[in-house]
Structure 1
Amino acid sequence: MGSARTLGLTATAMLVFCTGIGTAHAGSAAEALPETMAMLKHAISIPTVEDQHQVPVLAAYLADKLKAAGFAAGDIEIIPVGETAALVARYRGTGEGKPILLSGHMDVVAAKRQDWTRDPFTLIEQNGYLYGRGTADMKTAVVVLVETLIRLKREGFKPRHDLILLLSGDEETAMASTRELAKRYHDAEFLLNADAGGGTLDPASGKPVVYQIQAAEKTYADFRITLTSPGGHSSEPTADNAIYRLAKVIDRVGGYAFPPMINDITRASLRATGAHTPGALGAAMTRFAAHPDDAAAAATISADPAYVGQIRTTCVATMLNGGHALNALPQSASVNVNCRIFPGTPVDSVRDTLVKVIDDKSASVTVLSPPPVASPASPLRPDVIAAVTDAVHARFPGVEVVPGMSAGASDSMYFRNAGVPSYGIDASFTKPDDSFAHGLNEKLPASEVEAGLEFWHRVLVQLAK
């Protein structure tokens, strides 16, 4: 391992010369980098995990930064939602067009210090990466969005459209704050989500492969499978043991693969990614895009965790609960099965499939709240595609920009459901499976902070002018 350091302003200043994005000049992304890194360092230090009541703390910190930059107090609102909160900031334009919404989330997945190599809530730069919970998902993008609005304010930019920053506070859990934001802000031109889409780097060479604009995402659904039995004294075991029966059910779910599927968005994505992916995986992507009935191609793609969700509905066991005492036979046992459902597939049909797969009439299969929300694909707007392509090509000329589908869920689904066209345009280029978002030792290439500042400035100026 290389030497690590906690990022402060001295290390931040060094990044300006190490990222290779460009030389600082007045009003440039490089000039905005030290302030951005200072904000990111503070944001990472706030553990905005579920039930810690820290999202309102981060929201207040970001609100203060915006006010200090000249945003009117009346244009900033912190909306309490249970123990969390949402932050809204309006950059006022001339009012000639409907608002453009900018989306992100302030909360992060829980992280235990004892499990990590480094403190998850201390921003550390090492070997060209930034480590810390939220570096990839998605405090870096949140801070970049805030800094971009501050930069535009300092430049005196007057857009035709209001720009409304919508930062949710529980995207990783219940999404209650997201639902509240979508309820209040659904009369908009479109939404740009910094939590989806983005660029892919070749794992071996590190060269850019493709950039995807997220125009669709899978439906998120949790199913609870429960088995019961009479219970009794543990010294008198019976064959009717809810935990044993549940173990068999879990094996059946784990052994089942939903059939391969394709749509116009995933076809374009697989075709473009396959053309730049070496070996058997790239060849399989190309074949599947042309012939979705190619079982061998589907099997090769499905063997890669980064891409199986692009061609199938996936259902996986995520949590277990069973028994009520150490010395008693279990009266019940249950498992949560988390499904990411291919667009156009009804949730009820997935439940019906699970019922058939588990093949146990005594098992109950229920859909957990909140109810799953279908997320219809957004139409591909030429102005959005042009602005994003311009920003991508300013950094990586000639890289193909294609529509894509997220295998996971994002805040966009509630806005799409409310009729707001939504597009995921994360500024970062990363290698597949390299960021460890939601996992241990989450990281992001340090170069992506300055690159993100340049990307979002270009996109917003072009779309809102």
Structure 2
Amino acid sequence: MRAARALGPAAVAALIFCTGIGPARANTATEALPEAMAMLKHAVGIRTVEGERQVPVLAAYLAGKLKAAGFADGDVEIIPVDDTAALVARYRGTGGGRPILLSGHMDVVAAKREDWTRDPFTLVEENGYLYGRGVADMKAAAVVLVETLIRFKREGFTPRHDLILLLSGDEETAMASTRELAKRYHDAEFLLNADAGGGTLDAETGKPLLYQIQAAEKTYADFQIALTSPGGHSSEPGADNAIYRLARIIDRVAAHQFPTESNEITLASLRALGAHIPGPLGAAMTRFAAHPDDAAAAATISADPAYVGQIRTTCVATMLNGGHAVNALPQRASVNINCRIFPGTSVDSVRDTLVKVIDDKSASVTLQSTPPVANAASPLRPDVIAAVTAAVHQRFPGVDVVPSMSAGATDSKHFRNAGVPSYGIDAAFIKPDDTFAHGLNEKLPASEVEAGLEFWHRVLTQLAK
């Protein structure tokens, strides 16, 4: 077992020395790696969590790197949005086509030092993994995008399309900077998002299984179900108790299952997954991909929390609030119901279903916060699929490359909503549940930084030429 070590300036300098070149001459992924790792070390050290106002600091750091590599001041912009910011960098082409957008985000989920084995805001390499908040989600990928544009600048690459890098500053929270970017940059050929998609490795052998291009996302919506009661003294309990009534409502929501749904993206994904997942689950995926009306196959898939969202809208209770005093009957009780809605299904129809399921006319069902962003699945562009497939096969020949739908949400949803076809193409191959993104001890295989540099260079060279 190799001892843990932080990647300090000396280590980075040693890497540069061993290549025999300085960063200014880097023109291969291997030669670009030391500079990228130095940027990643610095980026992880900036606490870009909500409320700490450090995203503009990271944006300024990355902007400085781009300008130092030759980007004109007018082609690099930091857009302040509330207490965060977005970074925009334009790599100019010949103007032969609409721009290609490159998407990612600079903010990360909060992390407490006392909960982690290592300092979450110090980049550490140990036993083939990089540890630190954001290495998987998604500072490593953001740095790779910046380094790829720098590499193009040094090579003198002249694409037909402009390449516009859009790094948002609050993807993990309000997405206000994302909405601003989508408002400004919706006239584009398509968007490539480094925050979605990616490759899967076998959990036991580490061999590559398949690569997924994210071409659709579910719609995110929160509903509050609320009840009121007269209340009173807790020594005189009666039949009308808001908490008891809410508990029965929650049971009904938990028991409800939305109907199965599918599209060409989810069917292709399940078909590919079924070929690699052993046992009844894989067999059910194969059957469902061939016959989406197969109720038995749907039941097997739905029993697995990781895949139920691929064939249904899902709604689940996530937060409870009730009562106002420990010695009083509750006057109010509420629950938040978080829904991930299948593309093509309206938010209003899901609310109507919840109203019917809870079957209590005294309950209010209210859509929470900002209006949900519905976004249709993106068309499967042959040029994008071909470029990604070629890059994947350069590393892992013959690996299946298939479209997929995310049950979660990324910045792509705002661009799809604005009419920009969007595709998640994270370069990394990882084992299932091996990154701990948003969780403790977040990690990424160290090999995936150099692999990402090679992947993005190949994909963009093919698509932008």
- Please give the range of the TM-score, normalised by the shorter of the 2 chains: over 0.9
1:433 counterpart letter in structure 2: D
**Are the equivalent residues in 2 in contact too, given 1:48–1:106 (CA < 8 A)?**
yes
Aligned to 1:22: none
Aligned to 2:189: 189
**Are the equivalent residues in 2 in contact too, given 1:202–1:277 (CA < 8 A)?**
no
Correspondence 1:185-334 to 2 at 5 A: 185-334=185-334
Provide, for residues 106-154 of structure 1, a one-character-per-residue CA deviation record: whole Å limited to 9, x for no partner: 1122222333333222222223222222111111111111111111111
SS in 2 for 1:436: coil
Rounded Cα–Cα distance in structure 1 between residues aligned with 2:392 and 2:213: 11
Provide, for residues 44-71 of structure 1, a one-character-per-residue CA deviation record: whole Å limited to 9, x for no partner: 2222222221211211111111111111
Aligned to 1:351: 351
Q: Does 1:117 align with 2:138?
A: no
Rounded Cα–Cα distance in structure 2 between residues aligned with 1:350 and 1:167: 32
Give runs of ≥4 in structure 1 deviating > 6 Å.
13-16
1:52 counterpart letter in structure 2: E
Mean CA deviation greater in 251-260 or 310-319: 251-260
**Are the equivalent residues in 2 in contact too, given 1:320–1:335 (CA < 8 A)?**
yes
Mean CA deviation greater in 321-330 or 384-393: 321-330
Deviation at 1:460, TM superposition (A): 0.9
Deviation at 1:93, TM superposition (A): 1.3
Deviation at 1:11, TM superposition (A): 5.4
Mean CA deviation greater in 292-301 or 269-278: 292-301
Aligned to 2:455: 455
Q: Does 1:89 align with 2:85?
A: no
**Are the equivalent residues in 1 in contact too, given 2:252–2:357 (CA < 8 A)?**
yes
Rounded Cα–Cα distance in structure 1 between residues aligned with 2:14 and 2:383: 36
Matched-pair identity in %: 83
Rounded Cα–Cα distance in structure 2 between residues aligned with 1:249 and 1:113: 39
**Are the equivalent residues in 2 in contact too, given 1:95–1:162 (CA < 8 A)?**
yes
Question: Residues 279, 2 of structure 1: CA spacing in aligned structure 2 closer, same or farther, 3 A cutoff?
Answer: farther
Correspondence 1:402-417 to 2 at 5 A: 402-417=402-417
How many correspondences in the alignment? 457
Question: Residues 382, 369 of structure 1: CA spacing in aligned structure 2 closer, same or farther, 3 A cutoff?
Answer: same
Question: Residues 435, 226 of structure 1: CA spacing in aligned structure 2 closer, same or farther, 3 A cutoff?
Answer: same
Mean CA deviation greater in 299-308 or 101-110: 299-308
1:181 counterpart letter in structure 2: L
SS in 1 for 2:432: coil
Deviation at 1:420, TM superposition (A): 1.1
1:263 counterpart letter in structure 2: N
Provide, for residues 58-88 of structure 1, a one-character-per-residue CA deviation record: whole Å limited to 9, x for no partner: 1111111111111111111111111111111
Rounded Cα–Cα distance in structure 2 between residues aligned with 1:47 and 1:237: 50
- Stretches of structure 1 that go unaligned for 5 or more consecutive residues are 17-24
Q: Does 1:8 align with 2:8?
A: yes
Aligned to 1:377: 377
Aligned to 1:70: 70
**Are the equivalent residues in 1 in contact too, given 2:89–2:164 (CA < 8 A)?**
yes
Aligned to 1:176: 176
Provide, for residues 145-178 of structure 1, a one-character-per-residue CA deviation record: whole Å limited to 9, x for no partner: 1111111111111111111111111111221111
Mean CA deviation greater in 229-238 or 158-167: 229-238
SS in 1 for 2:275: helix
Correspondence 1:363-374 to 2 at 5 A: 363-374=363-374
Aligned to 1:105: 105
**Are the equivalent residues in 2 in contact too, given 1:9–1:34 (CA < 8 A)?**
no
Aligned to 1:51: 51
Rounded Cα–Cα distance in structure 2 between residues aligned with 1:326 and 1:2: 53
SS in 2 for 1:42: helix
Deviation at 1:428, TM superposition (A): 0.9
Rounded Cα–Cα distance in structure 1 between residues aligned with 2:345 and 2:395: 38
**Are the equivalent residues in 2 in contact too, given 1:306–1:433 (CA < 8 A)?**
no
Question: Residues 237, 62 of structure 1: CA spacing in aligned structure 2 closer, same or farther, 3 A cutoff?
Answer: farther
Rounded Cα–Cα distance in structure 1 between residues aligned with 2:98 and 2:121: 38
Rounded Cα–Cα distance in structure 2 between residues aligned with 1:14 and 1:296: 58
Deviation at 1:320, TM superposition (A): 2.6
Question: Residues 9, 244 of structure 1: CA spacing in aligned structure 2 closer, same or farther, 3 A cutoff?
Answer: farther
Question: Residues 149, 294 of structure 1: CA spacing in aligned structure 2 closer, same or farther, 3 A cutoff?
Answer: same
* RMSD (Å) for aligned C-alpha atoms: 2.0
Rounded Cα–Cα distance in structure 2 between residues aligned with 1:236 and 1:442: 51
SS in 2 for 1:99: strand
Aligned to 2:147: 147
Aligned to 2:21: none
Mean CA deviation greater in 271-280 or 232-241: 232-241
**Are the equivalent residues in 2 in contact too, given 1:215–1:403 (CA < 8 A)?**
yes
Q: TM-score, normalised by structure 1?
A: 0.93
Mean CA deviation greater in 42-51 or 388-397: 42-51
